[in-house]
Amino acid sequence: MNLRQLRYFTRIVEAGNITRAAEQLYVAQPALGMQIRQLEESLGVELLSRHSRGVAPTRAGQALYERACEILSLVEAAEQQVAAAGRFDNEVVVLGLTNGFANIVGRQLILKARRELPEVRLEIVEERSAVLVDVLERHEIDLALAYEVHERPGLLRVPLVEEEMLFVVGGSSGKGRVLAQPIEFSDVAGRELVMPGKRDGVRQQIVATARRLAIDVNVVLDVSSITTMKRMVAHGDAATVMPYGNVIEDIRAGKLSGRRIVNPPIRRTLYLVRSLSRALLKREEEMLALVADAARDYATELGALATPLEALERPLHEGLERVRGRMQRHK
């Protein structure tokens, strides 16, 4: 048994699919499969069970996965401690944010980190939620604030804020604010809409809601660029559904108008996400306190569109520890 085999094995368990794990590891699938076979032969047990959707750990595989996460976390911690002992530069923390969240509180978060944690160099990665979760699992970032993160092996997630999406059209008769008159979801579905691709979380929510209500959604344009979508909406080419954070400056400038959606509203949940196998940051609690403050500021800025959740009522590191404890008990 070696560290490379353990890294490969944990990635397969977390991905639930050997092909997907090979892509994430940039390793040829046959080579990855051979490493796992060698690991199974050396231990004398079967570690993975194959099914139609991919693979799942056997009882022995689950035991190895839990130990492997501990081992790899200790190895990473040792590497960080040794590296820190040989240099005097600051700890680098890479935080993933979505575009809307960064638009509203990203600047304040960076400046506050610089002011209150001078020994930490905070780097921001701004991406869609699905991309943030992928790079988090590859240990390319340390923490992420992402939306609608489903349960995945090896991930800790704590719900922070629930927020409503807006129906967005061009022009504004109420410059600087969201218009008071809401719009029925059925009316939104019937409008000509410009939306991101089918993997986009907001689009998936809209389609799922329409399917539940047995109505169709009229998506006439597929555009993945937020900037291009807003430009098309501003010119009257179509309407869209977006989070307030993505259009806040355009609404304030009078370029776009936003209306709340009702019957039903379209809501999504913001999660703090962390890898279970990632070593603790040297300033873990301080960083999580900074993130929690940013989430509270974000909810305040959204006003009636946002509902802060229970995790923000106490220190965020305690919430992560409770989630970690529940995951261990369920195993």
CATH number of residue 156's parent domain: 3.40.190.10
Residue type, 8: Y
Q: How far is 304 from 319, CA to CA, in rounded Å?
A: 25
Strands 54-57 and 179-184: unpaired
Domains identified in the chain, total number: 3
**pLDDT per position as a tens digit, 131-183:** 999 999 888 999 999 999 988 888 889 999 999 999 999 976 555 567 778 99
CATH of the domain at 60: 1.10.10.10
Tokens 């048994």 sit at which residue? 1
SS (H, E, C) 29-50: HHHHHHHHHHHHHHHCCCCEEE
Alpha-carbon gap, residue 247 to 80, rounded angstroms: 40
Q: Which domain holds residue 215?
A: 163-267
56 and 198 share one domain: no
Q: pLDDT tens for residues 30-86?
A: 999 899 999 999 999 999 998 888 899 999 999 999 999 999 988 888 877 776 665
Burial of 233 (0-12, 13-18, 19+ CB in 10 A): buried
Mean of pLDDT values over 222-238: 93
CB atoms within 10 A of CB 15: 22
Q: In terms of domains, do 177 and 258 share one?
A: yes
Q: How far apart are CA 192 and CA 218, in angstroms?
A: 5
Q: Are residues 177 and 235 in the same domain?
A: yes
Q: Is residue 27 domain-shared with residue 172, that is, in the same domain?
A: no
262 and 279 fall within a common domain: no
CATH number of the domain within which 180 lies:
3.40.190.290
Same domain membership, residue 272 and residue 129: yes
Q: Say what the pTM is.
A: 0.71
The Cα 155–Cα 145 span in angstroms is 13
Residues 167 and 250 in one domain: yes
Largest CA distance in the chain: 71
CA 292 → CA 36, 178, 308, distances in Å? 40, 26, 10
Last residue of a domain, one of 240, 267, 294: 267
Residue 235's CB: how many other CB atoms inside 10 A?
10
**Same-domain check for residues 260 and 277:** no
Residues 250-299: pLDDT tens digits? 998 889 999 999 999 999 999 999 998 888 888 888 999 999 999 999 99
Better-scored residue on pLDDT, 106 or 313: 106
Dihedral angle, C-alpha 242, 248, 254, 257, nearest 10 °? 30
What is the distance between the alpha carbons of residues 163 and 309, in angstroms, rounded to a whole number?
A: 10
- The answer to whether residues 221 and 313 belong to one domain is no
What are the start-end ranges of the E strands in 155-303? 155-170, 179-184, 193-195, 219-222, 240-243, 256-262, 267-275
Indicate the DSSP class of residue 102: I
Q: Is there a single domain that holds both residue 41 and residue 126?
A: no
**Of 40, 66, 84, at which residue does a domain stop?**
84
What is the helix (H) or strand (E) element at residue 56, kind and residue range? strand 54-57
Residue with the larger pLDDT of the pair 89 and 237: 237
169 and 146 share a domain?
no
What does the buried/exposed string (b/e) look like for 198-215 if buried means 16 or more CB atoms within 10 Å of the residue's CB? eebbbbebbbebbeeeee
- Gap between the Cα atoms of 274 and 152, Å rounded: 11
At residue 177, the pLDDT reads 61
Q: Of 62, 84, 106, at which residue does a domain stop?
A: 84
Q: Are residues 272 and 205 in the same domain?
A: no
